[in-house]
Amino acid sequence: MAGATLVCVPLVAKSVEQMVSDMATAKARGADVVEIRLDHLTNFEPSRDLVFLLRECHLPSLVTYRPRWEGGEYEGDDDKRFDALLLAMELGADFVDIELKVAQEFVNFLSGKRPASTKLIVSSHNYQSTPSSEDLSDLVARIQAVGADIVKIATTAVDIIDVLRMFKVMVHCQRGLISRILCPKFGGYLTFAMLSTGKESAPGQPTLSDLLDVYNIRQITADTKVFGIVGKPVRHSKSPILHNTAFRSVGFDAVYLPLLVDDFYSFINAYSSPDFTGFSITMPHKEAALACSDEVDPIAKFIGAVNTLVKRPSDGKLIGYNTDYTGAISAIEDALQGVQAKVPASSPLANKIVVVLGAGGAGKALAYGAKEKGARVVIANRTYERARELANLVGGEAISLTDLENFHPEEGMILANTTSIGMDPNIHETPISNHALKSYSLVFDAIYDPLVTRLLREADELGLATVNGMEMFVRQAMGQFKFFTGLPGKFVAGLI
């Protein structure tokens, strides 16, 4: 059933007035439940403050009074805590949370006084690691045995493989963005989201608007396909926004996640279920993705890098593709067509000199694509040996960075920067002098952070045509979308 998982916003304000204001905001933004964190309040007075808080709460409420020994702020004794939690139940709290370590004592304390309308959440927090599957099952059994209505287990995912164990025990998993987002898929009861950045009650919580508006959590069900961008780092990737928006625009039942992966080989072995349907691959895993593919598109094989992996539905085999080269080349072609008087029958790159700066993954994709379009390819790279290897591969020429300074065999050349020089935070750097830049008619930069690099700014000031990395990024995503959904990539265009 869609939306079976409740989205809960923890309230961590220091005053009751601010908490009440945050409650109203959480309700307006679409939360299902608010967690009133009594331990965060300064000068908390149970009989005064609980009456006020629960009277003003117009959403289902979860009351938590977390002690320091379990990661909270409360430093007093358990008697006062138990009294406050009982009072919250009597005042109509929908859920009350108690830690497993003292749950039996709390249940004994409640005996005969427990209002039937309040559900008891028994929670266990592990801030170091995620236990083995056996230990997790044992933990669930112990929590159920104390009489919990809802089991809450929060663990620390040291590696993405840990998250799989949490999916298997079904329960709410407090750490890791992907377990929070996939809660509805794996039958989790409650998932936590912070009201806004800085208002989280535990590390890794997404914001409420990310959960609802980017990841479309209300639409996620057991059948929802899971895609994601695999890399390290992936935090700042724009791919989740792009693909989730595109999926939603065509009603494709899928969610796209950032997947922070250290070891690609163990990740791909562990995430082998058909639920995980396809991946975008970014640095540093494009070569490992090629090695892990059961079948590889010949162009991706030639380039030596896979940026798209799709599980074939009929047999689950992993098919590897590269959409970087079409993304970059089509962006350059369109820009060239824009500055040319009439659209040529062949590619506007045909017979042009394309100087590719860099010989890494993006450099290989650019060099291959330009060659395919009939361009004369020249590679310049910091490590000259790599430039020579790539030039040999595509039948081009290699030059040193020093030679690049006075390289001007003809007019109308194209420069494609595929190094990371000029990328944030080194935004004041550029890979080529202004003097050498004058020899080109069009400059492409694969970097999209910042959108306008120093290289592109200087090219623009010289009156040259420019193409930024976002053009390539959106177009490579269009190619991926087509492989993921079987639908035309045009649904991605124009989303950023």
Ligand X SMILES: NC(=O)c1ccc[n+]([C@@H]2O[C@H](COP(=O)([O-])OP(=O)(O)OC[C@H]3O[C@@H](n4cnc5c(N)ncnc54)[C@H](OP(=O)(O)O)[C@@H]3O)[C@@H](O)[C@H]2O)c1
Residues that bind ligand X (CB under 6 A): 283, 324, 327, 358-363, 381-383, 386, 418-421, 423, 446-448, 469, 472-473, 476
Residue of minimal CB distance from ligand X?
Answer: 360
Backbone angles phi, psi at 244, to 5 degrees: -65, -40
CB of 469 to ligand X, least distance (A): 3
Q: Is the bond into 348 cis (omega within 30 degrees of 0)?
A: no
210 among known catalytic residues: no
Q: Calculate the alpha carbon distances from 183 to 160, 188, 231 in Å.
A: 15, 5, 22
Classified as helix, coil or strand, 121 is strand
Looking up tokens 């899928």, which residue turns up? 254
Q: Which is nearer to ligand X, 320 or 469 (CB)?
A: 469
Closest-CA residue to 124 (of 105, 99, 93) = 99
Q: Which is nearer to ligand X, 106 or 448 (CB)?
A: 448
Classified as helix, coil or strand, 43 is coil
Question: If DSSP states are collapsed to H, E and C, what string results for 123-149?
Answer: EEECCCCCCCHHHHHHHHHHHHHCCCC
Q: Which is nearer to ligand X, 184 or 358 (CB)?
A: 358
Cα 34 from Cα 175, distance rounded (Å): 18
* Annotated catalytic residue, options 49, 162, 324, 445: 324
CB of 60 to ligand X, least distance (A): 43
Cα 14 from Cα 37, distance rounded (Å): 9
Give strand ranges (E) for 386-491: 397-399, 413-417, 440-445, 465-467
Q: Judging by DSSP bridges, how do beta strands 61-64 and 150-154 pair with one another?
A: unpaired
CB of 360 to ligand X, least distance (A): 2
CB of 478 to ligand X, least distance (A): 11
Q: Which is nearer to ligand X, 391 or 447 (CB)?
A: 447
289 within 8 A of 319, measured Cβ to Cβ: no
Question: 17: which residues sit within 8 A by CB, 6+ positions away?
Answer: none
CB of 372 to ligand X, least distance (A): 18
CB of 97 to ligand X, least distance (A): 43
424 among known catalytic residues: no
Q: Read out DSSP for 236-302?
A: T-SHHHHHHHHHHHHT--EEEEEEE-S-HHHHHHHT-STTEEEEEE-TT-HHHHHHH-SEE-HHHHH
Q: Which is nearer to ligand X, 98 or 355 (CB)?
A: 355
CB of 373 to ligand X, least distance (A): 18
Q: Which is nearer to ligand X, 88 or 300 (CB)?
A: 300
Cα 487 from Cα 496, distance rounded (Å): 19
Q: Read out DSSP for 294-339?
A: SEE-HHHHHHT---EEEE-TTT--EEEE--HHHHHHHHHHHHHHHH
* Annotated catalytic residue, options 22, 49, 97, 152: 152
Residues β-bridged to residue 259: 230
* Annotated catalytic residue, options 40, 125, 185, 371: 125
Q: Read out DSSP for 231-246?
A: ESS-TT-SHHHHHHHH
Cα 389 from Cα 392, distance rounded (Å): 5
Q: Which is nearer to ligand X, 11 or 366 (CB)?
A: 366
Q: Which is nearer to ligand X, 275 or 333 (CB)?
A: 333
Cα 494 from Cα 496, distance rounded (Å): 6
CB of 214 to ligand X, least distance (A): 20
286 among known catalytic residues: yes
Cα 283 from Cα 261, distance rounded (Å): 10
* Annotated catalytic residue, options 199, 286, 364, 373: 286
478 within 8 A of 456, measured Cβ to Cβ: no
Q: Which is nearer to ligand X, 224 or 239 (CB)?
A: 239
CB of 204 to ligand X, least distance (A): 25
Give the active site residues. Answer: 125, 152, 286, 324
